[in-house]
Structures are given as structure tokens and as C-alpha cells.
């Protein structure tokens, strides 16, 4: 059994495991082609990746997918935007709990439809690896 240091208790309470998630943001991109990885987080080999938060901004309606590979199987969560907008969400339990991203693979957010001329997109992921 592992001893838990008092300073680790807030981490365990907040994230449910001894991890320190970090945000990875993309640069703004104008009129991305369909299927563009707006943000990409590579999970180191020998580790597992957990998604604790997402940020997506789009100047227009579009659909997005959070993509990752778990146990060699592609997984995704679709997020539809019916109009211009943004979403920023942080979770105490990772949205891929039970299906962590495999080491040596990437976690991405992609747009499903090509962006129109002059429309700006940006994305971010709050990810922890263990």
C-alpha cells in the first residue's frame, strides 16, 4: 500500500488520482479543412492519458470529435455546435475513465466539417498522464 502525503490529499480529492492535469491549447486556425486536428496531445509510451477538460471555440456552427485510442480501439465523443460559440468544461472524473488513451497515441479534437473562409477555430484539452 502506498502512503499518501497530506499535501497530496487535495489532488486526490479534486482529480480522483495522484495526477496534475495540464492544459494544452492550439493556436487559432482560420477555415480549417474537415478532419483537422485542432489540438493534439501525444501520450508518452508506457503511460495512459486521461481527459479532464475540453475547450472549443468556433466562429460558426460545426461538429467536433474528441478522439483517442484505448486498448487498440478508436474511441470518440462528438460535440455539436448549432451556432457560433465556445465551450469550456472541466471534470473531476475524466471523460474517458475506464478507457484511458494508450501510450504512444494522441488525443485530439477535430472539426467534422470544413470551416468557412475567415472563420476562426481554437481548441484545448486538459489532460493528465499516469
Measure the CA–CA gap between 110 and 123, rounded to whole angstroms.
9
Residues 67-79 have pLDDT tens digits of 999 999 999 999 9
Mean pLDDT of 62-91: 97
The answer to whether the beta carbons of residues 56 and 110 sit under 8 Å apart is: no
- Asked whether residue 104 carries a pLDDT value surpassing 60, the answer given is yes
Comparing CA positions, the residue from 52, 54, 26 lying closest to residue 40 is: 26
Least confident of 5-14, 16-25, 44-53: 5-14
- 65 pLDDT band, cuts 50/70/90, is very high
Residue 19: what pLDDT? Answer: 79
The reported pTM is 0.87
Write down the CATH number for the domain with range 19-129: 2.60.120.1380
Residue 13: what pLDDT? Answer: 56
What ranges do the domains of the chain cover? 19-129
Measure the CA–CA gap between 126 and 25, rounded to whole angstroms.
9
Measure the CA–CA gap between 126 and 50, rounded to whole angstroms.
8
Amino acid at each position: 500500500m502506498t502512503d499518501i502525503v497530506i499535501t497530496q490529499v487535495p489532488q486526490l480529492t479534486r482529480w480522483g488520482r495522484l495526477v496534475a492535469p495540464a492544459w494544452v491549447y492550439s493556436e487559432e486556425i482560420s477555415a480549417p479543412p474537415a478532419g483537422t486536428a485542432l489540438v493534439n496531445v501525444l501520450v508518452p509510451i508506457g503511460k495512459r492519458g486521461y481527459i479532464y477538460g475540453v475547450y472549443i471555440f468556433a466562429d460558426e456552427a460545426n461538429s467536433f470529435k474528441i478522439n483517442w485510442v484505448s486498448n487498440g480501439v478508436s474511441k470518440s465523443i462528438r460535440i455539436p455546435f448549432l451556432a457560433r460559440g465556445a465551450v469550456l468544461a472541466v471534470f473531476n472524473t475524466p471523460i474517458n475513465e475506464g478507457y484511458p488513451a494508450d501510450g504512444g497515441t494522441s488525443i485530439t479534437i477535430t472539426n467534422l466539417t470544413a470551416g468557412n473562409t475567415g472563420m476562426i477555430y481554437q481548441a484545448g484539452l486538459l489532460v493528465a498522464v499516469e
